Amino acid sequence: GDSVTQMEGPVTLSEEAFLTINCTYTATGYPSLFWYVQYPGEGLQLLLKATKADDKGSNKGFEATYRKETTSFHLEKGSVQVSDSAVYFCALDGSEKLVFGKGTKLTVNP
Amino acid sequence: KAGVTQTPRYLIKTRGQQVTLSCSPISGHRSVSWYQQTPGQGLQFLFEYFSETQRNKGNFPGRFSGRQFSNSRSEMNVSTLELGDSALYLCASSRYTGTSGSSSYNEQFFGPGTRLTVL
């Protein structure tokens, strides 16, 4: 079945550091891919999405490119802020439901 | 525009009891999905309702059930609670309209969740 694998956390960075969170997927067909973010005590918010190969999703300085050849959708940000501290989930739209990775907790220190 | 609301936000129950959680979708949204979030298993899909009908179902035992009302509000019920049912239960709504074959993704908007603790 469909599955998503993302790098284990937690990840701890200093402010203004470069962020990469790896995500790979297994799916039949060509699913849409997403990154969701969960701040403490809140539900999930859609951060960015890509619906076809080579699409780049971007939002709030975060970017991810849909790579069909490597079945990957890595999340990147050039300069993280303390306010980016949260849990990040990679997900795919499989068989009309979202399939999530286990999540990566990011902590950004000032 | 109000977001997805879930009640209650926190619940404590004991093994063997049953529990009902409620979800009110964003106005105009007719699709409601439920997810279970645990540290061990992560986020897992429970079921989705559209127009008062269950449209999709995850791999959970029959103790987990749900329903949707004509105003699109949804409830999920867990009977005979087990310790392993302790989790954050998230509800999400979307603009899905029932049109099959659509290639566009209908973004799911999540509520803050209900934290269920089973003692």
A68-84 pLDDT tens trace: 999 999 999 999 999 99
pLDDT of residue A28: 83
Above 90 in pLDDT, residue B100? no
Confidence of residue B17 (pLDDT cuts 50, 70, 90): very high
For the CA atoms of chain A, what is the radius of gyration?
13
**Local structure of B71: helix, strand or coil:** coil
Report d(CA A12, CA B38) in Å as an integer. 22
Burial B45-72 (b: 16+ CB within 10 A, else e): bbbbbbeeeebeeeebeeebbbebeeeb
Residue ranges of chain A with per-residue pLDDT less than 70: none
pLDDT of residue A82: 96
Q: Which residue shows structure tokens 């404590």? A: B12
Q: Residue A26 burial (CB < 10 Å; 0-12/13-18/19+)?
A: middle
Rounded to the nearest angstrom, the minimum Cα separation between A56 and chain B is: 16
| pLDDT tens string B28-63 | 999 999 999 998 889 999 999 999 999 889 999 999
**Structural tokens at position B6:** 């879930």
pLDDT of residue B75: 98
| pLDDT tens string B62-99 | 999 999 999 999 999 999 999 999 999 999 999 876 66
What mean pLDDT value characterizes chain A? Answer: 93
Rounded to the nearest angstrom, the minimum Cα separation between B42 and chain A is: 5
User: Which of A45, A51, A98 is opposite residue B45, by nearest beta carbon?
Assistant: A98
B-contacting residues in A 54-83 (Cβ below 8 Å): none
- Which chain B residue has its CA at the smallest distance from A39's CA? B112
pLDDT of residue B23: 98
Task: Give first-to-last CA distance, chain A, whole Å.
Answer: 41
User: Which of A42, A43, A97 is opposite residue B45, by nearest beta carbon?
Assistant: A97
pLDDT of residue B102: 45
- Which chain B residue has its CA at the smallest distance from A100's CA? B43
Asked whether the beta carbons of residue A43 and residue B113 sit closer than 8 angstroms, the reply is yes
**Local structure of A84: helix, strand or coil:** helix
Confidence of residue B103 (pLDDT cuts 50, 70, 90): very low
